[in-house]
Structure 1
Amino acid sequence: MAGHSERYGPGVPKELDRYLVPGEDVVFLLRRHWVVLAEPFLTTMFGLLVLAVLSAWVDGGVETALTLVWLLVLSRLLVAAWEWWYELVVATDKRLMLVHGVITRKVDIMPVSKVTDMRYDRSVTGRALGYGKFVMESAGQDQALSTINYIPDSDLHYQQISQLIFDPSAPRLTQKTGGSSRVPVVEPEEAWWRRKD
């Protein structure tokens, strides 16, 4: 995933040039929320703590075996972080994509035109940490991509996907800038605050 796309510019990995067709506009591109790494990280830290406590009470052979077990747990964390880094959720004006896999790259696609309904779920943990889950349904067909979990800043991305699905001709929601999202505002010409009575 080295380099940036020549077609789409900085911030879009060069790899996406292979999957996106000319004229397709990227609405958003993101990685899943960092919470997907929480369990492997906490398991690794807990294992290190257990190893530190037990190493004072056990002999060298057992300590070596425990260290090897902890190194396996650490390698699990590193693989999970590597997978998280290489996984991308992409929404374009034509489709939703999940690009994933480290050794074998896979691209799951849901065409926006096929989505008939979409559900947006936020658990208590999701509301507290800022992520959500999208479940998309299509007209009686099984699609490669139907659920996207751990979407960061999910309120904004839900609005963007909803707009693509249900009102594709409307002005697009702008990308997040400076920590806040903005929706284009159209003010009426004869609003009370503009009248010169």
Structure 2
Amino acid sequence: MALFGLDPHVERHLIADEGEMIVDEVTKHWAALVLPVLELCASLLVLLLTGFFPKDWYWIPILGSIAIAVHALWRILGVQMDRFVITNMRVFRVHGILSQHIATMPIARILDISVHVPIIGRIFHYGHFIFESAAQDQGLREIRYVGSPDQRGLTIQRVIQRSGLRGGGRPLEPVRQPAPQTNPFDQPMRRPVWQTATTTGEQPTRPIEVDPWWRQPPPPTDENDGT
């Protein structure tokens, strides 16, 4: 629920004509409000000091209390207006109260995502994201106080996977096997075309294959030979 009705309206930064859609809109974890709330409590303690000051100087703790309270409220509003958005094309961060700042990173440039979860973060389920991108000067590097960091990290990985930037790659080409080496003496001998004429005088359509001489059977012998 938006505090004081403030909302950064991240949907107006989407590229609607290209089909960009919000996958996840991440608000700051409540742990980011601990220090501003403690600062607001400190302003009340400073206000109580007015009873210990002379009547001519009572305005000093009052002004100090107001200044601390305004600064604490400003920090609380800053946390409320800080949004981290994951879309099907990019990740971007919108923050700022009076002036709004936008830092964006396309999915194609995300090289690595590191998730740092401190000891207190493991107890209260928050962590910090650190992005490594292909650009040298990047406007989106660290996102602090992200609730359910493991789940958000998996969401980004799914978006990267579905975009085809990882895991798909170019299909491997089949390995070409070398042609088997054959013994030329094992190949059948072919007679020239001019020697393949049949008794009918017709020209044969294909050459006659003849086995080599060492594979041919011995010629028949006449029984009357030698008599």
Above 0.5 in TM-score? yes
> Is 1:15 the equivalent of 2:24?
no
> Is 1:76 the equivalent of 2:57?
no
Aligned to 1:30: 26
Aligned to 2:105: 110
| Change in 2 beyond 3 A, CA 1:130/1:50 | same
- How is 1:103-182 mapped onto 2 (pairs within 5 angstroms)? 103-165=98-160, 167-168=161-162
Count of equivalent residues: 157
Aligned to 2:47: 51
* Contact 2:40–2:73 (CA under 8 A) maintained in structure 1: no
Deviation at 1:82, TM superposition (A): 1.6
Any idea what SS the aligned residue of 2:52 has?
coil
| Change in 2 beyond 3 A, CA 1:162/1:82 | same
Deviation at 1:31, TM superposition (A): 1.4
Per residue, is there more strand in 1 or in 2? 1
* Contact 2:46–2:62 (CA under 8 A) maintained in structure 1: no
* Contact 2:112–2:133 (CA under 8 A) maintained in structure 1: yes
Any idea what SS the aligned residue of 1:142 has?
coil
Runs ≥4 in structure 1, deviation > 3 angstroms?
A: none
Partner Cα separation in structure 2 for residue 25 and residue 103 of structure 1: 26
Q: Give per-residue Cα distances to partners, 1:118-159, cap 9 Å, x unaligned.
A: 111001121122211111111253221111111112221111
Partner Cα separation in structure 1 for residue 10 and residue 154 of structure 2: 23
Aligned to 2:37: 41
* Contact 1:51–1:70 (CA under 8 A) maintained in structure 2: yes
State which structure, 1 or 2, has the greater radius of gyration over its C-alpha atoms. 2
Partner Cα separation in structure 1 for residue 10 and residue 57 of structure 2: 48
* Contact 1:97–1:108 (CA under 8 A) maintained in structure 2: yes
How high is the sequence identity, in percent, across the aligned residues?
29
Any idea what SS the aligned residue of 1:56 has?
helix
| Change in 2 beyond 3 A, CA 1:50/1:101 | closer
In the superposition, the TM-score normalised over structure 2's length comes to 0.63
Aligned to 2:55: 60
Deviation at 1:71, TM superposition (A): 0.5
Partner Cα separation in structure 2 for residue 46 and residue 140 of structure 1: 42
Partner Cα separation in structure 1 for residue 77 and residue 155 of structure 2: 28
- How is 1:80-91 mapped onto 2 (pairs within 5 angstroms)? 80-91=75-86
The residue type paired with residue 27 of structure 1 is V
Name structure 1 gaps, 5 residues minimum.
3-12, 171-197
Any idea what SS the aligned residue of 2:24 has?
strand
| Change in 2 beyond 3 A, CA 1:81/1:160 | same
| Change in 2 beyond 3 A, CA 1:49/1:148 | same
* Contact 2:111–2:134 (CA under 8 A) maintained in structure 1: yes
